[in-house]
Amino acid sequence: MELWDQQYIDAEVNAYIRFDPNGFGEFQFAYVTGTIDYRLVERESSQAVEWSWEGNEEMNEVRGRGWAVLREDRHLHGRIFIHNGDDSQFEAKRGSEATRRRRQRP
């Protein structure tokens, strides 16, 4: 994520975003958790996903929206928005690849 360092992003759990086949999902980074309601779309001539979300940030109710494009490297590149708050660009990698990368950090 562009706004926060990896240590903060993984403060409670290893940050993740998950899209289930039923149009819903969830995510967590730092102290922000949310449930996702998503739609598959096309963006920049690529497969993409757009979503709205609601959840909590340090015990306060928050909500927002986001989008991500599946790039040729098979990573999601997108942006997540917190309503009346920050927004940040992010890159997400498949679980096993992201876990492997974290283990290799110094």
pLDDT at 96: 60
- This prediction has a pTM of 0.82
Strands 46-57, 32-43: pairing is: antiparallel
pLDDT at 45 over 90: no
Query: What average pLDDT is seen over the chain?
Result: 89
Domain regions of the chain by residue span: 6-103
* Mean pLDDT computed over 32-52: 93
Judge whether 58 and 34 are in contact, CB under 8 Å.
Answer: no
Task: Extract long-range pairs of 69-72: CB within 8 Å, 24+ residues apart.
Answer: 69/43, 69/44, 70/46, 71/46
Residue 100 has pLDDT above 60, yes or no: no
Strand 46-57, strand 60-70: pairing: antiparallel
User: Quick one: pLDDT at residue 43?
Assistant: 85
